[in-house]
């Protein structure tokens, strides 16, 4: 079963990552306590939430010869047994209430090279760096919640 396997947030750029079991998600603020989620006046909120597939992180780690935890990617949500859509516009339902809309690929940045040499390149193919999304419907999500494409 496809599920939410991890939740992380950080309150400022380059700030420490906080791993949490559950979080409130809102249309205007993204994940509660995460600096990227707040939609600025006139903004579109395309980067409110970042998601990465557990399998893609594992592949990148194998290619670089490392075994760092997923949150080093600085993504908000880790999904397991789920293939993130590779294109904008697809809606995802997390748990009973939350709906996210994929907006674009989460391109790996040079920060990944600071973590592990070669990681930026290992995360580049096939959207391995993950996906970005905006919040369509808020609610609370928890580790273990299901994730599926909203039909």
Q: What is the pLDDT of residues 59-103, one digit of tens each?
A: 999 999 999 999 999 999 999 999 999 999 999 999 999 999 999
pLDDT given at position 7: 98
**CB 58 within 8 Å of CB 82:** no
Give, in order, the Cα–Cα distances in Å from 71 to each of 7, 9, 149: 9, 9, 23
- CB 144, CB 150: distance < 8 Å: no
Residue 8, helix vs strand vs coil = strand
The structural domains of the chain, with segments of one domain joined by +, span 3-149
pLDDT at 151 over 80: no
CATH H superfamily, domain 3-149: PK beta-barrel domain-like (2.40.33.20)
- Beta pairing, strands 77-80 & 49-53: parallel
Average pLDDT of the residues in 15-19: 95
Residue burial 115-137, b: 16+ Cβ < 10 Å; e: rest:
ebeebbebbeeebbbbbbbbbeb
Q: What is the pLDDT of residue 102?
A: 97
Whether this prediction's pTM lies above 0.85 is answered by: yes
pLDDT confidence of residue 1: 85
The model's confidence at residue 14, banded by pLDDT at 50, 70 and 90, is: confident
Q: Are 92 and 102 in contact, with CB atoms under 8 Å apart? A: yes
Does 130 score more than 90 pLDDT? Answer: yes
- Helices (H), ranges, 1-151: 54-64, 111-115, 119-122
């Amino acid at each position: 079963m496809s599920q939410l396997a991890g939740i992380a947030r950080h309150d400022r750029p380059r700030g420490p990552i906080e791993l949490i079991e559950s979080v409130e998600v809102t249309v205007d603020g993204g994940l509660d306590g995460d600096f990227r989620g707040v939609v600025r006046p006139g903004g579109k909120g395309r980067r409110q939430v970042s998601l990465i597939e557990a399998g893609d992180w594992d592949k990148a780690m194998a290619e670089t010869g490392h075994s760092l935890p997923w949150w080093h990617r600085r993504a908000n949500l880790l999904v397991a047994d789920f293939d993130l859509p590779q294109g904008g516009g697809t809606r995802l339902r997390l748990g009973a209430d939350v709906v996210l809309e994929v907006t674009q690929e989460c391109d790996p940045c040079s920060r990944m090279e600071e973590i592990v040499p070669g990681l930026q390149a290992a995360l580049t193919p096939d959207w391995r760096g993950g996906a970005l999304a905006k919040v369509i419907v808020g609610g609370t999500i928890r580790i273990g919640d299901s994730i599926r494409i909203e039909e």
